[in-house]
Amino acid sequence: MAVEQVWKGRLTAGLDPRAQRLNDSLPVDQRLWPEELALSRAYSATLGECGVMSAAEVSALHAACDALEQALLEGTVTLTGEDVHSAVEQSLERLCGEPARRLHTGRSRNDQVATLLRMHVMRLADTAIESVRGLERAIVQQARASEHLACAAYTHLQPAQPITLAHWWLAHAQAFARDEERFAAAREAADRMPLGSGAVSGSPLAYDRLSLATRLSFTRLAANSLDAVGDRDFALEYLNAAAMLGLHLSRLAEDLVLFCSPAFGWFVAPDGFSTGSSLLPQKRNPDLFELARGKSARLLANAQRLATLLKGLPSAYQKDLQEDKEAVFDTADTLAALLDGLTPAIAALTPQPERLAASLTPDLLAVELADAMVAEGVPFRDAHRVVGQLWAAAEAAGVEPAALPLDVRLALHPLFDDTHVNALSVQSALARRAHAPGAGSVAEQLSAEEARLGLGPGERVESRAHPVDASDAAPVDPNGGAETAHGPRVLAGGLVLRRARLDDVPGIAAVMAAYVAQGVLLPRPVSELYQCVREFHVVEDDGRIVACAALRVLWKDMGEVRSLAVRPDRHGRGLGARLVEAVVADARAVGLPRIIALTREVAFFERCGFTVEKRETLPRKVWTDCVRCPKRHACDEVAVVLDLVPGASEAAARDARPYTLPMPQALVTEPSLPILS
């Protein structure tokens, strides 16, 4: 079937080829095909509810969507047409005929493209947040490793006061935490479904927009059709969030370029993330950090580009808005490349303690002497003046202030005696600033950041690579549990298996922290652990939490074993299997027919009675957690299932189709979830 413009009925001559090259947007917007197919499935169900399409036509359209999706994933079909909307529609028409020809009833490409871009930006914002958190975890781990390494802080690139290297790392973590908030705000701005707006004045079809929004994972509805088709604030908010992130990445990169230079020598540019010179054989260039500094200009330009485009537009949809997507896509690609490379590069940095110590010159303690004089009753402005004179005299003499003759010092001020001058130290300077947000409050800052990122708090444990050990496993007793009617369950060696309490949360976080740092377990911020503490069982040894696991109910037919972790020094005692027993007992108690886990410890779960299953057959897990996971595109976890009701997995496989779209999509036969409007 020949490709034709969807508007050709009015202008039968079509476009001049030179105009068509400028007009067609498919080379750019074709990456929205997954969202277009998701919209086609959801909207066809709405048309069925309106009586525009029969149930058989809706079913045929869904089958065509499935077939086209598979062909596009396999690369056996190439989209052709003016834009992604007409290209997908015409491809569906070739597969199912009449149902696809009815699909555009009651909608316009104006509200269609606004919907797709909003869906895409919501997903991009989720991805950005998770990627930034990965970077933050690398930064906080560096901060933890350098908690006690003191160094100079600089203002105007001149030595100012002593801090710890951890304090410097955590300063950057604070900036990236703000970036998370900006991306969350951009996602919220995008979460407003414009469908039903038509071209500009709305659709004549009266349908349940809340139900349609739910199918597309929106929680709010656009209220004005004219505004809805022209609004791109959400895209600009995403680009602005990315621009600010780029700015912060550039500042971090600039610091690292300086600190990796021989003049500082605080770090060595890491192997695998540095390059050499084509001429100078001795060179070790921190090119990755320099590129991060340079790419930030691209992110800033994309935000300015869309803002400039939007400022001159009249109300409603204009063809100019075809230019919005290229900026969004380029920013997303740039961020993905930057964060994918910077995170491991930062993790690979090794501080050089001797060079850090060399930065701790006496100049850093000048204000400490002034403060000591204030403690003796000297007004600060007077103290500031005479300490400046002391440093000037030392500079003129070519010595450190403490090396000036005593009579010279006393001539400037009686408090410049040996007692006061020799009492100055980096340690005392940091100790005097042990309260937030000072450089001496690093322990408090670290605890808060580790809790937020799922890396603590609690004592750190030297960990093996696995949260459970094969010897922890044995066939579970499906009728076992953490507690009997009389309370906690006592295990061998005096260990106690019981339900978690609020005061166990720091201990749970500590058990999980090492595995989160290694990427073995997904991070669960402490705030989230408090919210779901009732899902957890713990093993306690003399007041210390040494193992944990939780049951998460995913849907009416399925629960999940989550956050299963055993301290490495408690491996080999069967604690993992006992915790699985407790989770299974909870699942039985609420009537779940089966329970799953996603794991690399397949042998452990098989010994517990689970069997391997394809992840694609578990849509409730895939579309609640996996879709937001930063590793979803390269996941090496295996799905395992335990049927608590015989035949539960087979029944579920018959009732649900696998999902491979990169965004959530509800089954149209299910009742709508509540919508916030």
Q: Which residues are catalytic?
A: 156, 277
Q: Whole-angstrom Cα distance, residue 571 to residue 494?
A: 15
Q: Whole-angstrom Cα distance, residue 184 to residue 241?
A: 9
Distances (CA, A) of 549 to 277, 470, 484, 508, 531: 51, 16, 18, 9, 15
> 500, 508 in Cβ contact below 8 A?
yes
Q: Which of 676, 495, 499 has its CA nearest to residue 574? A: 495
Question: Strand 611-613 relative to strand 638-643: parallel, antiparallel, unpaired?
Answer: antiparallel
- The residues, any chain, with a CB within 8 Å of residue 174's CB and separated by 6 or more, are none
Residues 254, 516, 562, CA angle at the centre, nearest 5°? 145
Q: Determine the distance from the C-alpha atom of residue 194 to the mean position of all C-alpha atoms in its chain, rounded to a whole number.
A: 27
- The residues, any chain, with a CB within 8 Å of residue 180's CB and separated by 6 or more, are 129, 132, 133
Distances (CA, A) of 632 to 130, 467, 617: 11, 20, 16
Look at residue 115 and give its three-state secondary structure.
Answer: helix
* DSSP-assigned letters across all residues of 129-185: HHHHHHHHHHHHHHHHHTTT-EEEEEETTEEEEEEEHHHHHHHHHHHHHHHHHHHHH
In this structure, the chain runs to a length of: 677
Q: Give the 3-state secondary structure of 208-224.
A: CHHHHHHHCCCCCECCC
Tokens of 649: 């997995």
- Cα within 13 Å of Cα(94), Cβ side: 13
Amino acid at 3: V
The dihedral formed by the CA atoms of 627, 632, 636 and 638, expressed in degrees to the nearest 10: 10
Omega before 437 within 30 of 0, i.e. cis = yes
- The residues, any chain, with a CB within 8 Å of residue 517's CB and separated by 6 or more, are 137, 141, 455
Helix spans in 261-379 (H): 287-311, 324-347, 353-358, 366-375
Q: Whole-angstrom Cα distance, residue 355 to residue 267?
A: 9
Distances (CA, A) of 429 to 365, 369, 385, 432: 8, 10, 20, 5
> 346, 169 in Cβ contact below 8 A?
no
